[in-house]
């Protein structure tokens, strides 16, 4: 029995190590353009190590919980516990992985605590997190003097008021538990070795998460449109200017082809957002497309740090660009 447990630990350890080394070249290529000088390269390396350590720790925790709980309660409970921990520790994760200075302030147009983070990643947008029963918004330090900070804080206050962060977690928890349950019902994880079962879970949930990448962007659009609609009532001129400026900051502006945009771009194009300012949607689940990249740490998703918006950028593994 002891030999089998050691064997399972070794299998999971080698699997995680193999994934790290397989993805390393893609991380380097993805970061090459953004971190071209020596000082930035050194900071990127520190962030990469911190990100890898953090992600591996959650995967290790999930593996331990599966070993501990799965024989009695199945795979769903360990996954749910891990996702809750990831969700609750969102703020701590970005502070740790970024490694830079940060400061807390009260910002006009936002009811809650604001954390300014000194981040070298140009496309980092921060966002709203809900941890331990309090709302906090993370703001890039470079936005502190922006003329559009107030309007963005207003948008984020609507995110809190409408509980979009909590909504997205509930939706994604259901989505991921459904995926785990389907795999368990079909016997995809069956093995006499728990280490092999964990690898099978990881492979299946990577496929399940890829499906989410395809269907969730269009579901995220309605939330962006709804927040813009609410903010437009207060300062339409400033909001429109901010929408244009925001697309330049994150170097992402959707696609003219509506089908392509609905599949590959969780943040709609500038034109789409401007044209939707006078309409709202009652079906808003929150920023589920980008939020799932973080929450899928809790299901051993191998692609959680390998998509076009965050590959090679450790701070974006935790906080992909979001509107």
How far is residue 320 from each of residues 197, 291, 309, 310, 314, measured CA to CA in Å?
Answer: 30, 8, 6, 6, 10
Q: How confident is the model at residue 122 (pLDDT cuts 50, 70, 90)?
A: confident
d(CA 12, CA 16): 6
Tell me if 110 sits within 8 A of 137, measured CB to CB. Answer: yes
Number of Cβ within a 10 Å radius of residue 161: 11
Query: Where along the chain do its domains lie?
Result: 2-99+160-318
Strands 127-131 and 134-140: antiparallel
Tell me if 313 sits within 8 A of 34, measured CB to CB. Answer: yes
In 123-264 the beta strands, taken as DSSP E runs, fall at 127-131, 134-140
Q: How confident is the model at residue 172 (pLDDT cuts 50, 70, 90)?
A: very high
Q: What is the pLDDT of residue 37?
A: 43
Q: What is the mean pLDDT of residues 76-81?
A: 97
d(CA 323, CA 321): 7
Q: What is the pLDDT of residue 38?
A: 46
Closest CA to 126 of 116, 111, 112: 116
- Give the H/E segment covering residue 279: none
What is the reported pTM? 0.92
> Is residue 108 packed enough to be buried (19+ CB in 10 Å), middle (13-18) or exposed (0-12)?
exposed
Q: How is residue 283 written in tokens?
A: 């079906």
Helices vs strands, H then E, count in the chain: 12, 4
Checking if the pLDDT of 19 tops 60, the result is: yes
Mapping DSSP to helix (H, G, I), strand (E, B) and coil, where does residue 43 land? helix
* Higher pLDDT pick, 190 / 107: 190
Whole-number mean pLDDT of the chain?
A: 90
Q: What is the mean pLDDT of residues 184-199?
A: 93
Q: How is residue 92 written in tokens?
A: 């701590």
Q: How is residue 13 written in tokens?
A: 């350890």
Closest CA to 191 of 200, 182, 181: 200
Percent of the chain surpassing pLDDT 70: 96
């Amino acid at each position: 029995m002891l030999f089998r447990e050691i064997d399972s630990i070794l299998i999971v350890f080698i699997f995680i190590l193999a994934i790290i080394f397989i993805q390393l070249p893609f991380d380097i290529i993805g970061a090459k353009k953004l971190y071209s000088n020596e000082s930035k390269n050194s900071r990127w390396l520190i962030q990469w190590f911190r990100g890898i350590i953090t992600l591996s720790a959650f995967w290790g925790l999930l593996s331990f919980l599966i070993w501990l709980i799965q024989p009695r309660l199945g795979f769903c409970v360990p996954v749910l516990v891990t996702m809750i921990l990831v969700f609750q520790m969102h703020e701590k994760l970005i502070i740790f992985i970024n490694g830079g200075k940060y400061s807390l302030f009260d910002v006009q147009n936002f009811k809650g605590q604001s954390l300014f983070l000194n981040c070298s990643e140009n496309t980092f947008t921060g966002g709203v997190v809900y941890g331990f029963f309090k709302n906090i918004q993370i703001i890039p330090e470079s936005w502190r003097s922006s003329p559009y900070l107030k309007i963005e804080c207003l948008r984020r206050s609507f995110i809190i008021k409408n509980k979009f962060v909590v909504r997205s977690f509930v939706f994604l928890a259901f989505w991921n538990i459904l995926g785990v349950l389907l795999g368990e019902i079909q016997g995809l994880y069956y093995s006499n070795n728990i280490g092999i079962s964990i690898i099978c879970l990881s492979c299946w949930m990577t496929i399940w998460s890829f499906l989410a990448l395809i269907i969730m962007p269009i579901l995220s659009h309605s939330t962006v449109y709804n927040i813009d609609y609410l903010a437009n009532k207060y300062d339409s001129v400033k909001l429109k200017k901010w929408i244009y400026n925001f697309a330049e900051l994150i170097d992402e502006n959707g696609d003219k082809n509506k089908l392509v945009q609905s599949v590959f771009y969780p943040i709609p194009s500038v034109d789409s957002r401007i044209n939707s300012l006078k309409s709202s949607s009652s079906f808003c689940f929150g920023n589920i497309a980008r939020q799932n990249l973080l929450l899928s740490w809790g299901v051993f998703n191998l692609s959680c740090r390998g998509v076009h918006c965050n590959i090679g950028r450790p701070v974006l593994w935790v906080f992909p660009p979001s509107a």
